[in-house]
Amino acid sequence: MIDIGEVLLNLWNSSGFAALSSGFMDGGWQNLVMIVIACVLLYLGIVKQFEPLLMCGIAFGCLLTNLPNAGLYHDELWQAFMNPDSPAYHSYGAIMQNGGLLDIFYIGVKTSLYPCLIFMGVGAMTDFGPLLSNPKSLLLGAAAQLGVFAAFFGAVCLGFKGPEAASIGIIGGADGPTAIFLTTKLAPHLLGAIAVAAYSYMALIPLIQPPIMNLLSTPAQRRIKMVQTRKVSKAEKIIFPILVTAFVALLLPDTAALIGCLMFGNLAKETGLTDRLSDTMQNALMNIVTILLSTAVGATMVGTNFLTAQTLKIVVLGVVAFGLSTAGGMLGGLVMCKLTKGKVNPLIGSAGVSAVPMAARVSNTVGQKNNPSNFLLMHAMGPNVAGVIGSAIAAGFLLSVFG
Amino acid sequence: MNFLAAAPDLENISLLNASIVAVLGYGMVFAGLIVLMIVVTMLGKAFSAKNKKQNEAPAAPVAAPVVSAPAPVAPVVSDAAPGSAGQLKLYDTPPKTAAMIMAIVADKMGKPLNELRFISIKEVK
């Protein structure tokens, strides 16, 4: 006869509750704290609507990875994957053989597949028309990368290593896929903290940017109305992605994957002949990859990696990076305002951080608060999409230096 | 590819090297986007010139008969279109903005545009 007591005891011993209680002082408390953090992130995503599409996935991945004995994600496997002395060094076979579900999801992050596919969807959803009709917008997209390099320097000052500092700095680009792309390559152990910081601050753009925008401009400047830009032909829109891909990939070959996918997505949209592809990129593919990417990134938030002083520093540096990028864009806008004798509203500069289209909407909202009849949205979309290209170039440069 | 291959240690980068990388990186982003701006501007100018030529070409043959045989003035009607409720006066408002405002108002009121009468639209400064 089966010993029911033994069965129940075995059941208890194999449960996560037993693992939590027996190993509480040996790291179990970290799992508990991380589960609480996962719940906080879920609250932010669901109740406060902070980038819910990504935040919910990240938070749920965090929850799953911190459930003891679930075996969905194995940080030690990935450490062995990165260790040149380990037999599992760079062996995806070892991951497939020994890994859990989230380990297999994470392969797509590690190989940069997901960020590139997300960029493809972003490209298919982006209209570069406002940028083409006003190419000077590209300068604002460049100016708004100030936060990337300032935060990089700040991170080095705070004791981070070069590749870690580069990954932290890219938070200032306000571009989630780019931040994940660079961090996976340079500092994978910081991925969870950097992704959470990047997406949280992107959700907080309507709160972070307006005070800086108001501080750096006068009410008269904020009231400036901009003239309508020229209409862009379809041929220009088709040539643009091809041109940008060739130029940027030749300049910084490390960005070829990101820029190539972004521009391929855009080309599929602009040709008008590949609507099925464009539709898939914008919807089905984007949604599937978002699920895989967010849960995989959340899975990297294991207590030993996340509950460190480094995470707090990353959170602080992230907001500094966002603020300085906004300031950089605004200063670029002010210079253009001066040079054009008041024809450019400096508020469009802050849209140079690449959070599309949130940053452009903020420029429009702040402009309308000062002049209700002022519509800056389309003018701000130019710097906004320029910021996507700018942050990809910044990431490519940092990858070239530290990769 | 490693731009700073000669640098002593990029892992434990010094503040001096970090500042060089930061300035160089910011400069690189500017340089890349400035070149792109020049290329895009040239592309735009080329297309504008092409469009201008295309617009001018068919205009020439049409212009001649108009000059030789001017059309009667009668069809140029200043009256309102059938069903119109009169002219709309615009003060400091471009026609496109006015059209947008009228469409928004109609949408918000849930009434067709031809059942509404707009007398004037004035920009509030």
Which residues of chain B are modeled with pLDDT < 50? 1, 3, 5, 62-78
Can you tell me the distance from the alpha carbon of A301 to that of A7, in angstroms, rounded to the nearest whole number?
Answer: 33
- Choose among A138, A143, A161: nearest Cβ to B12: A161
Spatial distance between the Cα atoms of A335 and A339, rounded to a whole number of angstroms:
6
- Secondary structure in 3-state letters for chain B: CCCCCCCCCCCCCCHHHHHHHHHHHHHHHHHHHHHHHHHHHHHHHHHHHHHHHHHHHHHHHHHHHHHHCCCCCCCCCCCCCCCCCCCCEEECCCHHHHHHHHHHHHHHHCCCHHHCCCCEEECCC
CA B85 to chain A, closest CA, distance in angstroms equals 26
Query: Which of A334, A386, A377, A336 has the alpha carbon at shortest distance from A358?
Result: A377
Cβ-based contacts of A154 with chain B (< 8 Å)? none
Which sign, positive or negative, has the C-alpha torsion A360, A366, A369, A375? Answer: negative
Return the H-helix or E-strand segment holding A147: helix A146-157
Q: Return the structure tokens found at B70.
A: 């001017």
SS3 of A193, please? helix
CB atoms within 10 A of CB A52: 16
- The alpha carbon of residue A223 is apart from the nearest alpha carbon of chain B, in Å, by 10
Interface test with B, best of A137, A139, A156 (most B CBs within 10 A): A156
Answer whether A261 touches B (CB < 8 Å): no
> Can you give the pLDDT at residue B59?
54
Question: What is the value of pTM for the model shown?
Answer: 0.79
CA distances from A223 to A23, A215, A346, B58, B101 (A): 61, 15, 10, 42, 20
Q: Exposed (0-12), middle (13-18) or buried (19+): which is B112, by Cβ within 10 Å?
A: exposed
Long-range contacts of A27-33 (CB under 8 A, 24+ apart): A27/A303, A27/A304, A28/A68, A30/A66, A30/A302, A30/A303, A30/A304, A30/A307, A31/A66, A31/A67, A31/A68, A31/A303, A33/A303, A33/A307
Amino acid code (one letter) for B75: P
DSSP assignments along A196-229, one per residue: HHHHHHHHTHHHHHHHHHHHHS-HHHHTPPPPPP
Tell me what pLDDT residue B6 has. Answer: 53
Nearest chain A residue to B96 by CA distance is: A228
The tokens for B81 are 């279109």
Contacts of B1 in chain A (CB under 8 A): 253-254, 400
Within 13 Å of residue A347, how many CA atoms lie on the same side as its CB?
A: 33
Question: For A213-251, how does the pLDDT look when each residue is reduced to its tens digit (9 = 90+)?
Answer: 999 999 999 999 998 778 888 999 999 999 999 999 998
By CB neighbour count within 10 A (0-12 exposed, 13-18 middle, 19+ buried), where does B51 fall? middle
Contact status of B48 with chain A (Cβ, < 8 Å) = yes
Residues of B in contact with A397 (CB under 8 A): 24-25, 28-29
B101 has a chain A CB within 8 A of its CB: no
For residue A27, the model assigns a pLDDT of 74
User: Contact at 8 Å (CB) between A102 and A64?
Assistant: yes
Residue B84 forms contact with A (CB below 8 Å): no
Residue B68 tokens, joined: 């030789």
Pair A399, A250: CB distance under 8 Å: no
User: What's the CA gap between A222 and B41, in Å, rounded?
Assistant: 27
Q: Which chain B residues are Cβ-neighbours of A182 within 8 angstroms?
A: none
Q: Are the beta carbons of A152 and B39 separated by less than 8 Å?
A: no
- Mention every residue, 6+ apart, whose C-beta is less than 8 A from residue A182: A166, A167, A170, A395, A398, A399
- Predicted complex: ipTM over 0.90: no
Cross-chain Cβ contact A401/B15 below 8 Å? no
Whether residue A244 lies within 8 A of chain B, CB to CB, comes out as: yes
Distance from CA of B1 to the nearest CA of A (A): 6
A195 dihedral zone (left: phi>0; alpha: psi -120 to 50; beta)? alpha
* Residue A139: count of CB within 10 angstroms of its CB: 23
Residue A275's pLDDT is what? 92
What is the rounded distance in angstroms from the CA atom of residue A297 to the CA atom of residue A300? 5
Q: Please, is A289 exposed, middle or buried when counting C-beta atoms within 10 Å of its C-beta (0-12, 13-18, 19+)?
A: buried
Identify the segments of chain A with pLDDT beneath 50.
none
Distance in angstroms (rounded) separating the CA atoms of residues A330 and A326:
6
A256 reaches B (C-beta below 8 A) = no
The answer for residues whose C-beta is within 8 angstroms of residue A368's C-beta and 6 or more apart is: A374, A375, A376
Residue with tokens 């997901």: A114
User: Is A249 in the B-facing interface, judged by CB distances under 8 Å?
Assistant: no
What distance in Å separates the CA atoms of residue A293 and residue A197, rounded to the nearest whole number? 16
B99 neighbourhood in chain A, CB within 8 Å: none
pLDDT of residue A254: 87
Rounded to whole angstroms, how far apart are CA atoms A310 and A329?
Answer: 28
